[in-house]
Amino acid sequence: MAAEPLQKPLRLAAVVLAGGQGLRMGGADKGLVPWQGQALVDWMLQALRAQEGVRWQALAISANRNLSDYAQRGLPLLQDDLAHRAQGPLAGMLQALRFAKQAGCDAVWLLPCDTPLLPPDLAQRLVQGLLSQNAPAIAPAFEQAEGPPRWQAAHVLLRTELAPALQTLFDQGERRLQAALRHLGAQPLLLPPEQAGGFGNFNALADLQESTPAR
């Protein structure tokens, strides 16, 4: 699926996905779990605002519980449709695409709530890759010693025009993030292996104790 080339800079939105069930953390609301003095969602917003060479037209948080806590961040809150709760990140992606479209944006960057060590030039590189490849979506990926590149699909940058196609996939029963992105024509942005540590996520409370914030 080729994207229509734009004649002007991309108008960008970004959404932090914090609507998961946190099953591997004992059901904790992962975005609100404290780490190094502040909640993970605050680390993600900090990493988002520290991105170099991009300007965000709209920011939001995708959340499905503890909404009053998330509302303290002063950003719009996106909830999954009731019928789509607990059905994985594609539900949050759909809401993010709708939000970005309504905000007049051309593309939206999705970020999980538990990867606070992202490189500060990642958004800029994704935008450049999206434009240079004329792709509908692009996600970071790393070469492996064996096999195909390993995608970081949860950090995808998508054009908002993909909303109808993603809705169709979702209605057909697709719930696998990477499979959906491949079907939509997403392309990988190959990054050097030494940057893989910036995508380390926190799946258990023990992971929080073993990591330190970027300086």
pLDDT tens-digit series, residues 170-195: 999 999 999 999 999 999 999 988 88
Residue 214 lies in a domain: no
Residues that constitute the known binding site for GTP: 17-19, 30, 80, 114
**Crossing angle of helices 163-171 and 89-102, rounded to 10°:** 150
Binding-site positions = 17-19, 30, 80, 114
Q: Which residues are annotated binding-site positions for Mg(2+)?
A: 114
**Mean of all residue pLDDT scores within the chain:** 87
> Using 50, 70 and 90 to split pLDDT, how confident is the model at 24?
low
Residues 34-58 have a mean pLDDT of 95
Report pLDDT for 97: 98
Beta-strand ranges (E) seen in 49-127 are: 56-62, 77-78, 107-112
Q: Which position has the token pair 């240079």?
A: 132
What is the domain count for the chain?
Answer: 1
Alpha-carbon torsion angle 180, 184, 187, 189, nearest 10: -60
User: Would residue 184 count as lying in a domain?
Assistant: yes
Q: Region 24-40: what's the mean pLDDT?
A: 82
Whether the predicted pLDDT of 208 surpasses 90: no
| Structural domain includes residue 103 | yes
Q: Is residue 6 part of a domain?
A: no
Residue 62 lies in a domain: yes
Report the amino acid identity of residue 211: S
> CATH code at 140?
3.90.550.10
In a domain, 1, yes or no: no
The pLDDT assigned to 69 comes to 97
Q: Is the pLDDT of residue 214 over 70?
A: no
* Cα torsion through 29, 32, 33, 38, rounded to 10: 170
Dump pLDDT digits (tens) for 113-125: 989 889 999 999 9
Span 185-206, average pLDDT: 79
Q: Is it the case that residue 169 has pLDDT exceeding 90?
A: yes
pLDDT of residue 127 exceeding 50:
yes
Least confident residue range of 15-24, 60-69, 134-143: 15-24
Q: Is the pLDDT of residue 7 over 90?
A: no
Tell me what percent of the chain is helix, strand and coil, each rounded to the nearest 5: 40, 20, 40
Q: What is d(CA 47, CA 44) in angstroms, rounded to the nearest whole number?
A: 5
Under 8 Å between Cβ of 107 and 159: yes
Q: Which range among 1-10, 122-131, 173-182 shows the weakest confidence by mean pLDDT?
A: 1-10
3 within some domain = no
In this structure, is residue 108 part of a structural domain? yes
* Domain hosting residue 43, numbered range: 12-208
Global confidence as pTM: 0.87
Q: What mean pLDDT is predicted for residues 44-66?
A: 96
pLDDT, position 144: 83
Tell me what pLDDT residue 190 has. 95
